[in-house]
Chain A
Amino acid sequence: MNIIITGLITGSMLALLAIGFSLIFGVARIVNIAHTAFYMVAGYCIYVLSVKLGLHPVLGMLIAVVVVTVFGLLAYKFLIDPIREHEAAVLIATIALAMIFQEAMLLIFTGDYLTVSALIEGYFILFGVKIFYQQVLTFGVVLVLLAVLWFLLMKTKLGLAIRSTAEDREVANLMGMNDSQLAMITMGISVALAGFTGAVIAPLTVLSPYMWMEPLILMMAVVVLGGLGSIKGSFVAAYILGFTEALVVFLIPKGAFLKGSVALSIMILVLLLRPEGLFGIVFEEER
C-alpha cells in the first residue's frame, strides 16, 4: 500500500516535470537542464510567501507559479534566445542557470532544510496505511493539471500550433506560425508546469538548494524512456519509474541507495530494445 502511494506521488511529480521538459524540447529543441531548478525556485517562493509573509498557502502557490513563469520567460528572452543556434551553448547556458539558482538559494536561505506546512492537515487510514490528505490533494491536482494540459494541446489552436511546430519546425513556419513567439509561449507553459510541480510537492518534501538534482536525472530518464516529445510516453514512463523506485526502496535492503540505479538500468534496457523510447516518434534526421 505504501508502495502504491509513494509510486503514485513520485510518478505524478515526474510526469509533470517530464511533460514540461519534453514540450520545450519538442518545440524549440532546447534541452533545459534548468527545468527542475525552476521547480526548486517555486518551492522556495511558496516558503517565503506562506511561511514568512503569512499569505494563504493557495494564494502563495499561485503567486509562486507566476513568479517562476516570469523568471523562466526572462531567462529565455535574455539568455537562451540569443544563442539558440548553438545547441551546445544553450545546454551550458541552462546548466549555468541552474547553478545560479542553486547558489542564489544557498545564499538567501542557507543550506538548511526547510518545510512548508500542508494545505490540509490530517490523514485517514485505508488498509492499515496512513494516507495524508495532502497526498490525495497532490495527486488530484496533478490529474487536473494533466487534463488541462491535454485539453490545451489537443483541442485549442495554440495546442495545434505547438504540436505542429514540434513535428516539423520549417513547415510550421511556412504555414505562418511565428516560431520564436511560439517557443516563448511554450517556454512559459513548460516553466509554469515546473512551478506547479514545485507547488504541489513542496508540502510533501523538504526544501534544499540541491533538491533539483535528483528529479532532474529521473525526469530525463522518464523523458528518454517515454520517447522525446511524446506526452503520452512521458506519462506512462513517469509512473513506471515512480513505481520501480518505490518498489526498490521498500523491498530491497539498502534500496534507498539503489533506487536511482535500478530506475536508470530499466531505462537503458528499454532503450536497447527500442532506441526511440516507448512511444517515441522517430524524428526525421535533421541535417
Chain B
Amino acid sequence: MVNAGFYLKRFYTIVRGEVLVLPSRIIVALFFIILLGLPLVSQNPYLIRVVILTSIFAILAASWDLLSGFTGQMNFGHALFFGVGAYTSALLNIHLQISPWGGVPLGAVAAVLAGLIVGIPCLRLKGTYLALTTMAFPIILMGIVFALPDLTGGELGISGLRRLSNSLLGNYYIHVVAMLTLCTIMWKITDSHTGIIFHAIREDELAVRASGINTTRYKLLAFCLSGLFAGLSGGLYAHYMRIAGPSTLEVSMSFSVVIWAVFGGLATIYGPVAAVFILFPLLEFVRFWPEYRALIFAVIVLIILLYMPEGLIHWVRDKIEKECPRCKIRNVATRNTCRICTAALD
C-alpha cells in the first residue's frame, strides 16, 4: 500500500514537473486521454469510423514526414507504400487465408522492400527531380494492377477481407492504440541519434558526408522506415475498409499525404498527425454539402498556408511557447524568465 502511494506521488511529480509546464505537452496528454476515453462517452458508429480512418491516415502522414520532412527526400509517391501494404495483406488474406494479424506486418515488410526498390534508384536524385520521379512509382504499379485483373481484381480491387476484430470497440482500440504507439515510435526515432542524422542530411548532405557518415545508408534507412510505417497503415486500411482497391495508389492519395504533412508543419511528426486530426474529420463533417467538400478543403488549405507558411502547428507553438535564448529550453509564453536557467525571456 505504501509502495503504491509512493509511485503515485512520484507519478504526480513527473506529471507536474514534465507535462504541466508546457502547453504543448498538456495538449498531447489530453489528446491521448480523449482518444482512449472517447468510447466511454459516445459509441456512435459513424464517429468511431471517422476516428479510426483518421488514425490510419495519421500514421501515413507521419511516415511521410519521417522521410520527406526529416531527411528532406521529397517523396511524391507515398501512396506506393500505402498501396503495397494494402494489396499485399489483402492478397495474403484472400489467396492464402493468412489472418490479418500476420498479413498486416507482412504487408509492411513488402512496403519496406518497395522502399528499397524506390530508394536505390532515387539515391542519385535530388530535390525536384526526386519528387517528380517518386511520383511515377505508384502510377507504374497502378498500371500493373490494371493489367492483371485476375490477381488484383483490376478496377474493383480485392474485396471481402476479414477485419482485425469484429466488434466496434475492438476495432477502435486496435487502430487508435496502433496509431498512438506507431507515432510515438516515429517521434522517438526522430529524437534519437539516427533522427539527428536524418535532420542533418536535410540541412546539408555534403557536410554530413564530410563528417564521416554514410549518408547513402541513412537515406535508404529513411526510405525503409517510412515504407514500414506507411505499409502498416496501408494494411490496416485495407482490413478496416475490407477492400484494397486502386484508389490506394492514386495520385490524389500521394497529394493528400503531402498536403496533410505540410499543413501541419514539416519535421515534427506531431504536426502531420494533428493536421490529419483537424482536416480529415472536417472533411467528413461537411458531407451534408457534398459537392463543395473538396473545394472547401482546398480553400482552407490555401488560406492557412498564406498566413502560416511554416505550417499550422509551428505557428501555434510559437504563439503559446517561447524558446529560452540561453539554454534553448521551451517555456510557456506567459513566463518572464526561463524555468531552467532563469535567464530573461524576450
Give the interface of A toward B (CB within 8 A). Answer: 25, 31, 33, 79, 82-83, 85-86, 88-89, 91-93, 95-97, 99-100, 102-104, 106-107, 213, 216-217, 220-221, 223-224, 228, 254, 257-262, 264-265, 267-268, 271-272, 275-277, 285, 287
B162 to chain A, nearest CB (A): 29
Contact A220 B132 (CB under 8 A): yes
Contacts of B143 in A (CB 8 A): 257-262
11 more A-B residue pairs beyond the given contacts A92-B258, A96-B302, A220-B136, with a C-beta to C-beta distance below 8 A: A88-B266, A89-B310, A92-B301, A95-B258, A96-B259, A100-B302, A103-B292, A224-B133, A261-B143, A268-B136, A276-B129
Contacts of A260 in B (CB 8 A): 139-140, 142-143
A246 to chain B, nearest CB (A): 16
Instruction: Please name the 10 residue pairs, one residue from A and one from B, whose CB atoms are nearest each other, closest first.
Output: A261-B143, A257-B146, A264-B136, A103-B295, A99-B298, A86-B309, A89-B309, A275-B124, A96-B298, A261-B140
Alpha-carbon gap, A106 to B293, bound state (A): 12
Residues A89 and B129 in contact in the complex (CB < 8 Å), given A79-B306, A217-B135, A257-B146: no
Alpha-carbon gap, A163 to B272, bound state (A): 38
Contact B309 A83 (CB under 8 A): yes
Alpha-carbon gap, A11 to B190, bound state (A): 44
Alpha-carbon gap, A111 to B295, bound state (A): 15
Residues A100 and B298 in contact in the complex (CB < 8 Å), given A83-B305, A89-B309: yes
Question: Which among A86, A91, A262 is the interface contact of B258 at CB below 8 angstroms?
Answer: A91
Residue in A closest to B259 when the chains form the complex, CB atoms: A92
For chain B, residues 94 to 133, give those with C-beta under 8 angstroms from any C-beta of chain A. 121, 124-125, 128-129, 131-133
Q: What string of 1s and 0s marks CB contacts (under 8 Å) between B242-278 and chain A?
A: 0000000001100100110011001000000000000
B141 to chain A, nearest CB (A): 8
Contact B132 A221 (CB under 8 A): yes
Contact A271 B302 (CB under 8 A): no
Question: Which among B295, B301, B310 is the interface contact of A104 at CB below 8 angstroms?
Answer: B295
Contacts of B125 in A (CB 8 A): 271, 275
Question: Which among B133, B251, B311 is the interface contact of A268 at CB below 8 angstroms?
Answer: B133
Q: What string of 1s and 0s marks CB contacts (under 8 Å) between B159-200 and chain A?
A: 000000000000000000000000000000000000000000
Contacts of A103 in B (CB 8 A): 292, 294-295, 298
Alpha-carbon gap, A278 to B147, bound state (A): 30
Contacts of B295 in A (CB 8 A): 99-100, 103-104, 107
Contacts of B297 in A (CB 8 A): 99
Alpha-carbon gap, A104 to B298, bound state (A): 11
A30 to chain B, nearest CB (A): 10
B16 to chain A, nearest CB (A): 37
Q: Decide yes or no whether B291 CB sits under 8 A from chain A.
A: yes
Q: Decide yes or no whether B340 CB sits under 8 A from chain A.
A: no
Q: Decide yes or no whether B36 CB sits under 8 A from chain A.
A: no
Contacts of B251 in A (CB 8 A): 213, 216-217
Residue in B closest to A273 when the chains form the complex, CB atoms: B124
Contact B135 A220 (CB under 8 A): yes
Q: Decide yes or no whether B344 CB sits under 8 A from chain A.
A: no
Contacts of B302 in A (CB 8 A): 79, 93, 96-97, 100
Contact B262 A91 (CB under 8 A): yes
Q: Decide yes or no whether B41 CB sits under 8 A from chain A.
A: no
Residues A106 and B305 in contact in the complex (CB < 8 Å), given A217-B135, A221-B136, A275-B124: no
Contact B263 A92 (CB under 8 A): yes
Question: Which among A223, A272, A276 is the interface contact of B132 at CB below 8 angstroms?
Answer: A223
Contact B291 A106 (CB under 8 A): yes
Contact A95 B266 (CB under 8 A): no
Residue in A closest to B296 when the chains form the complex, CB atoms: A103
Contact A267 B136 (CB under 8 A): yes
Contacts of B147 in A (CB 8 A): 254, 257-258, 261
Alpha-carbon gap, A188 to B146, bound state (A): 38
Contacts of B346 in A (CB 8 A): none
Sample of 14 A–B contacts (CB below 8 Å): A82-B306, A82-B309, A83-B306, A88-B266, A89-B310, A100-B302, A107-B295, A217-B251, A220-B135, A224-B132, A261-B141, A261-B147, A262-B143, A275-B125
